[in-house]
Amino acid sequence: MISGGGTGGHIYPAISIANALKEMHPDTEFLFVGAKGKMEMEKVPEAGYKIVGLWISGLQRSLKLSNLMFPFKVASSVLKSYVLLKKFKPDVVVGVGGYASGALLYAASKKGIPTLIQEQNGLAGLTNKLLAKRVDKICVAYEGMERFFPKENIVFTGNPVRNDILNVYEKKAQGLAHFGLSSEKKTLLIIGGSLGARTINNAMAEGVERLLQEGFQVLWQTGKLYYEEMMERTAALASDELKVMPFIKEMDMAYGAADVIISRAGASSISELCLVAKPVIFVPSPNVAEDHQTKNAMAMVSKEAAEHVADDEAPEHLVSEAIMLLTDVNRQDLLKENLRLLAKPHAAQNIANEVIGLIK
């Protein structure tokens, strides 16, 4: 059983772990457990796996009536987890973060079922910190995680990513054709995370005309929340050089088409982009615990593997930085090379091996 979700940063690693296990042992049976109403309930079945939803959600930072339901949601989710465990009889339960994984792994550890958690960030999430002393293995992507977890249970594996992005340079022509883009122009890819990023979207809505005038083409994932607004704001610019989409499912094609990428700096995004090895400008989200996306981004900048624009500076500087990088081939080559040095292409297989080890 594999549990977790809420954002693509949790969901795609979970799917990657399942795919790696399936490749090693094709007869493996899987059951995913997520939170009702969250994006994993859509994305996991699209990947070919069955998922069951728990009635669980996080506490709101502001004082809201929905917070009063939190204890009841936790109790309900733990009880349902016991029922699912009894019915499915898993050999191992894997958690990738999120409240659903907290309920399931708590129940699994109480029943003595082997458990493993995967922490994507250099700053451990609340659910994984609470589970740390209960689980058998903790797979991490950053060094120094003994600050949060028992040292003896930590395994340094890297973050799992989708297999289809391992050879995106071979998909350049295919990617351009897929999105109806020209092979004669440089392509800027904008990805603000699976849910979108308001600051990045606003900066692009204000500056995308300049990019087009400079002779570049733009492939822009707005996120579903912002799609209609961004389409309205750029309606006068409609052209073959501007592709605005709510969500890009074929990310391997998008990465293949891209010459430069603008992205948030979540841990999973960084792990993917190291493997993609295309020049990237990180715009860290300020709306995360302890500003960990900025820490992620600056770690990359310190190794000359990425550029950085702060969220509050994006409206004024992001488009200018993108144009500068799109026109500086030497800088692009340096970033590509340093990104490749940081890539961990076998993370999913490493985690799968730890899972199999727990069964044995």
Half-sphere exposure of 152 (CA within 13 A, CB side): 4
In degrees and rounded to multiples of 5, residue 34 shows phi and psi of -130, -165
Assign residue 203 a region: left if phi > 0, alpha if psi is -120 to 50, beta otherwise? alpha
DSSP 150-212: -GGGEEE------GGGTTGGGGHHHHHHHTT--TTS-EEEEE--TT--HHHHHHHHHHHHHHH
3-state secondary structure of 119: strand
Measure the CA–CA gap between 135 and 132, rounded to whole angstroms: 6
Answer yes or no: is 8 a known binding residue. yes
Q: How far is CA 53 from the centre of its chain?
A: 20
Answer yes or no: is 221 a known binding residue. no
Answer yes or no: is 162 a known binding residue. yes
Answer yes or no: is 248 a known binding residue. yes
Q: Which of 138, 159, 348, 139 is nearest to 269 (CA)?
A: 159
Answer yes or no: is 264 a known binding residue. no
In degrees and rounded to multiples of 5, residue 65 shows phi and psi of -60, -30
Answer yes or no: is 97 a known binding residue. no
Answer yes or no: is 194 a known binding residue. yes
Measure the CA–CA gap between 81 and 83, rounded to whole angstroms: 5
> Which residues contribute to the annotated binding site?
7-9, 121, 162, 194, 248, 293
> Which residues contribute to the annotated binding site for UDP-N-acetyl-alpha-D-glucosamine?
7-9, 121, 162, 194, 248, 293
